[in-house]
Amino acid sequence: MSERIHASYFIETPYPVEQAIDVMAGEQSSGTFTRLASETDDLRANHGAVVEHIERLDSVDVPSLPIRPPKARDGTPLYQRAKVTLSWPMANFGPSLPNLLSTVAGNLFELKEFSALKLLDLTLPTDFARRYPSPQFGIAGTRQLSGVPDRPLIGTIIKPSVGLSPQATAETVRQLVEGGIDFIKDDELQSNGPHNPLKSRVDAVMPIIREHAERTGRQVMYAFNITGDIDEMIENHDYVAAAGGTCVMVAIQSVGLSGVAHLRRHCRLALHGHRAGWGLFSRSPYIGMSYIAYQKLWRLAGVDHLHVNGLRNKFTEDDASVIASARSCLTPMFDPPTPGCEVMPVFSSGQTADQAVDTYQAIGSTDLIFCAGGGIMAHPGGIGAGVRSLRQAWDAAVAGITLDDHAIDHPELAQALEAFR
Amino acid sequence: MSERIHASYFIETPYPVEQAIDVMAGEQSSGTFTRLASETDDLRANHGAVVEHIERLDSVDVPSLPIRPPKARDGTPLYQRAKVTLSWPMANFGPSLPNLLSTVAGNLFELKEFSALKLLDLTLPTDFARRYPSPQFGIAGTRQLSGVPDRPLIGTIIKPSVGLSPQATAETVRQLVEGGIDFIKDDELQSNGPHNPLKSRVDAVMPIIREHAERTGRQVMYAFNITGDIDEMIENHDYVAAAGGTCVMVAIQSVGLSGVAHLRRHCRLALHGHRAGWGLFSRSPYIGMSYIAYQKLWRLAGVDHLHVNGLRNKFTEDDASVIASARSCLTPMFDPPTPGCEVMPVFSSGQTADQAVDTYQAIGSTDLIFCAGGGIMAHPGGIGAGVRSLRQAWDAAVAGITLDDHAIDHPELAQALEAFR
């Protein structure tokens, strides 16, 4: 078992690569701008970050991010790109998620040596899995709570995002549960605002969910968005639990790593992680963090579900990135693997029956939540037909049948393909 | 008093500007990709984000961030830039910091309509100041705790960042307090690691601070870095307080907004906010958040001090940005102003006596913490001379005397200018 933390980065620098990376390793461990007498060889050996690997890539004439130009050595500088891996001893900060973040994604982003610096991946010792409880329910637990043993959970998001009263929300929920939905979530904009307070929403929604569960033996999972201050989240979690709910949701970046890990330690329900604000990390190729690294932090903090967009989504993210993200959620993150550390990827944004086969072929798993908005609500046959069209599409995907072939004797699927393709 | 939240953005889009901004306003309030029947005119009027202002700027031929190209209307698209202001009713999410963040800095960063989107500023109703306690000590309280009534607090950061034992830390502290320092902080990489646990560090450092305070009547402020999990931070805060400490520090982004606000509600000490990771928001001109907006979030969450870099620093940030950041910390953030909401800007990174006059002339205030590492530790006359050189430099700045003139009869300043210029 490795006792060091490894992090890999994409970098671009107008300085000699080894020199720039030494600055980066120094800044994030025992070094500073000037070598101090107290930074002894022993101290460096025990606490300095180690440059494990450098892979030189291409170079460019123009810096990718604004940078103070270095003093010209031989005319115009070239900006050399590279992939580098650094490692740190566990002794520096122990298995602490917030302090891991300060180290691998802290001051280094501001270093004058770099015109690009993006965190690509993290490899962590299993000490982290011992300190942090990781997902409580994960894939198996989510399936058990929602009574869906194998296929994807078919889900939706209450829309309009904000503005509905608790009663109007409950009326939408009634239609959805009668239509056969597995999973419903609040929008990330709908938390505990004065026009639709969380407790009033729970009071309005849960009787419908419970009554349906008593009648059918299967409880629809509703992810109540409890994003808020710490005490407020704990109180609202308890309220959802007392009302018989099975899931709460948080906007993970809005709450922060310490807050999500704290909520998880208290949590008795599935914890649905929304990544609102993710574009800050992902939009520029030259600054930020890959989802591969990002999702490890939040899995350790203890979410059970994590958003990944969806194929042919309405945002800027391309399909290859969506698939890599979803696979990362389903991949063990320690060596040896710790059981149950995988989380359910949540597909959403412009999803309809049309994406089911391609999604299944790309990730080879049904361990996911497949959220459709218009793909359900705007189905020509109504909400129930919308839900059935998605189940039919996933049946086809798993059976290896094309959507068009399956649509021949599945009219709801046929209608969905007609309407949404 | 405004009952709406305003946020302004820099944007760039290949679509007609008004159309792109309508998508942005819709995505962050009541709209979704397709107009739903339940999104009634009443609901839109009460909950929709309003486009308050559009100022068209230049246009460019090439998108600043990767973007899925729109279907060509008339050949190659132009990417139009603009400054826009949106507003939201308080009814949508109430005065909640994490939900404010989900709204003004959430999904919108990922919209396919934009090849640049940066949050520039926020204007908030005073409801936020009523819900969040804001700085507890701020400028006046920090001065009182540290016994420095007017001039800047002269500070330093313990180096090497990591690797010192508690005893070696205490030995450095002893030299610094004897040298006349006002403020000492842990590095953001030094929190509660196994080689230097927080409690052991407190045990080693605080007797020296207390003994010096008893002897001189003035207690040096030591910002202990308690960044960690929520319960750990509360426990370590209490430990620092019980030992007679006056300040704790957190890496604000590593902890997150909900965690910092929670700590503040419990906190009895000055709360020092380190912005490790700030480069994620600042490095690209095309994605992220200005410091003007950023610092408002953390002031409301309740920090008393906030880092701003320094003039001629060793990172990429230019002087104009540093000055704008420092001024923002000292500017009231509500209309009418709420007393005590200002925080002390913390200058650091490559600071020596040489930057004092320029800093004072640029911000016109001594309400700041001026941290020097090498500028103190590497002074030819030793630590005490380093501290005196900084005090002398600030005396000159406030008196309107040039550093060179003041150096004539202040040998420590003369040595500093000789060594560090």
Residue B110 C-alpha from the chain's centroid: 25
Residue B276 C-alpha from the chain's centroid: 9
Tokens of A70: 């270095």
Residue B406 C-alpha from the chain's centroid: 32
Q: Is A8 on the interface with B (CB under 8 A)?
A: no
Q: Is B317 on the interface with A (CB under 8 A)?
A: yes
Instruction: Kindly state whether residues B214 and B290 are assigned to the same domain.
Output: yes
What's the domain range around B177?
138-420
Residue A417's contacts (CB-CB under 8 Å, 6 or more residues apart) are: A353, A354, A403, A404, A407
CA angle B66, B72, B77 (to 5 degrees): 55
Considering only CB atoms, which chain A residues are within 8 Å of B106? 188-189, 251, 254, 276-277
Q: What is the pLDDT of residues B17-61, one digit of tens each?
A: 999 999 999 999 987 766 777 888 899 999 999 999 999 999 999
Q: Amino acid identity of B109?
A: F
B209 neighbors B230 (Cβ within 8 angstroms)? no
DSSP state of B179: T
Query: What does the pLDDT read at residue B282?
Result: 98
Distance from CA of A403 to the nearest CA of B (A): 24
Considering only CB atoms, which chain B residues are within 8 Å of A261? 229-230
Instruction: Kindly state whether residues A198 and A78 are assigned to the same domain.
Output: no
Considering only CB atoms, which chain B residues are within 8 Å of A108? 279
Query: What does the pLDDT read at residue A74?
Result: 64
pLDDT tens across the length of chain B (421 residues): 458 999 999 999 999 999 999 999 999 998 776 677 788 889 999 999 999 999 999 999 999 999 988 876 667 789 999 999 999 999 999 999 999 999 999 999 999 999 999 999 999 999 999 999 899 999 999 999 999 999 999 999 999 999 999 999 999 999 999 999 999 999 999 999 999 999 999 999 999 999 999 999 999 999 999 999 999 999 999 999 999 999 999 999 999 999 999 999 999 999 999 999 999 999 999 999 999 999 999 999 999 999 999 999 999 999 999 999 999 999 999 988 888 899 999 999 999 999 999 999 999 999 999 999 989 999 999 999 999 999 999 999 999 999 999 999 999 999 999 999 9
Query: What does the pLDDT read at residue A71?
Result: 76
Among residues A117, A91, A94, the alpha carbon closest in space to that of A30 is found at: A91
Around A396, how many Cα atoms within 13 Å sit in the side-chain half-sphere?
25
How many whole angstroms separate alpha carbon B46 and alpha carbon A114? 46
Distances (CA, A) of A386 to A371, A402, B235: 12, 18, 51
Q: pLDDT: is A76 or A380 the higher one?
A: A380
Q: Peptide bond before B16: cis, by omega within 30 degrees of 0?
A: no
Considering only CB atoms, which chain A residues are within 8 Å of B97? 229
Residue A416 C-alpha from the chain's centroid: 28
Tokens of B137: 């000590």
Instruction: Kindly state whether residues B115 and B145 are assigned to the same domain.
Output: no
Residue A44's contacts (CB-CB under 8 Å, 6 or more residues apart) are: A30, A31, B163
Element (H, E) at A71: none
**Max CA distance (Å), chain B:** 79
Query: What does the pLDDT read at residue B186?
Result: 98
Q: Which of residues 194-253 of B touch A (CB under 8 A)?
A: 194-195, 227-231, 233, 251, 253
- pLDDT greater than 80 at residue A150: yes
Instruction: Kindly state whether residues B127 and B144 are assigned to the same domain.
Output: no
- pLDDT greater than 90 at residue A157: yes
Q: Peptide bond before B160: cis, by omega within 30 degrees of 0?
A: yes
Considering only CB atoms, which chain B residues are within 8 Å of A277? 101-102, 105-107, 109
Contact B94 A194 (CB under 8 A): yes
Candidates A23, A62, A189, A253: best to mutate against B (most CBs of B within 10 A) is A189
Q: Is A34 on the interface with B (CB under 8 A)?
A: yes
Distance from CA of B188 to the nearest CA of A (A): 7
Q: What is the pLDDT of residues A105-128, one digit of tens each?
A: 999 999 999 999 999 999 999 999
Domain harbouring A246, CATH code: 3.20.20.110
A76 neighbors A60 (Cβ within 8 angstroms)? no
B337 neighbors B299 (Cβ within 8 angstroms)? no
Residue B167 C-alpha from the chain's centroid: 30
How many whole angstroms separate alpha carbon B286 and alpha carbon B10? 8
Distance from CA of B69 to the nearest CA of A (A): 10
Query: What does the pLDDT read at residue B415?
Result: 98
β-pairing, B4-13 vs B116-123, is antiparallel
Instruction: Kindly state whether residues B127 and B232 are assigned to the same domain.
Output: no
How many whole angstroms separate alpha carbon A111 and alpha carbon B313? 10
Domain boundary among B131, B152, B181: B131
β-pairing, A50-60 vs A79-89, is antiparallel
The residue-averaged pLDDT of A349-362 equals 97
Instruction: Kindly state whether residues B115 and B165 are assigned to the same domain.
Output: no
> What one-character-per-residue DSSP string does B52-113 give?
EEEEEEEEESS-SS--PPPPPSSSSPPEEEEEEEEEEEGGGT-S-HHHHHHHHSSGGGGBTT
Instruction: Kindly state whether residues B253 and B268 are assigned to the same domain.
Output: yes
Instruction: Kindly state whether residues B361 and B296 are assigned to the same domain.
Output: yes
Residue B402's contacts (CB-CB under 8 Å, 6 or more residues apart) are: B357, B396
Q: Amino acid identity of A122?
A: L
Q: pLDDT: is A91 or A31 the higher one?
A: A91
| Residue in B33, B47, B257 closest to A256 by CB | B257
> What one-character-per-residue DSSP string does A1-34 give?
---EEEEEEEEEESS-HHHHHHHHHHHTTT--SS
- pLDDT greater than 90 at residue A30: no
ipTM of the complex: 0.97
How many whole angstroms separate alpha carbon A410 and alpha carbon B44? 37
Please give the interface size between A and B, counted as residue pairs whose CB atoms are below 8 Å apart.
Answer: 353
DSSP state of A69: P
Domain boundary among B68, B102, B131: B131
- pLDDT greater than 70 at residue A297: yes
CA angle A356, A359, A363 (to 5 degrees): 140
SS3 content of chain A, % helix, strand, coil (to 5): 45, 20, 40
Domain boundary among B131, B160, B180: B131
Query: What does the pLDDT read at residue B301?
Result: 97
Q: Which segment of A30-44, A110-124, A160-174, A338-352 scores lowest on mean pLDDT?
A: A30-44
A136 neighbors A299 (Cβ within 8 angstroms)? no
Assign A69 a pLDDT band (cuts: 50, 70, 90): confident
Considering only CB atoms, which chain B residues are within 8 Å of A32? 159-161, 373-374
Q: Which of residues 334-373 of A touch B (CB under 8 A)?
A: 350, 373
Instruction: Kindly state whether residues B222 and B297 are assigned to the same domain.
Output: yes
Buried b (16+ CB within 10 A) or exposed e, B10-37: bbbbbbebeebbbbbbbbbbbbbeeebe
Instruction: Name the burial class of residue A61, with classes exposed (0-12), middle (13-18) and buried (19+) by CB atoms within 10 angstroms of its CB.
Output: exposed
Instruction: Kindly state whether residues B111 and B260 are assigned to the same domain.
Output: no
Instruction: Kindly state whether residues A51 and A145 are assigned to the same domain.
Output: no
- How many structural domains compose chain B? 2
Query: What does the pLDDT read at residue B1?
Result: 40
DSSP state of A111: B
Contact A286 B289 (CB under 8 A): no
Tokens of A183: 């999973």
Query: What does the pLDDT read at residue B5?
Result: 97
Instruction: Kindly state whether residues A102 and A184 are assigned to the same domain.
Output: no
Q: What is the pLDDT of residues A76-88, one digit of tens each?
A: 789 999 999 999 9
Assign A1 a pLDDT band (cuts: 50, 70, 90): very low
Query: What does the pLDDT read at residue A33?
Result: 67
User: Would you say how long chain A is, in residues?
Assistant: 421
Domain harbouring A43, CATH code: 3.30.70.150
How many whole angstroms separate alpha carbon A224 and alpha carbon A327? 26
B271 neighbors B225 (Cβ within 8 angstroms)? no
DSSP, collapsed to helix, strand or coil, labels residue A145 as helix
Q: Which of residues 57-86 of B touch A (CB under 8 A)?
A: 65-68
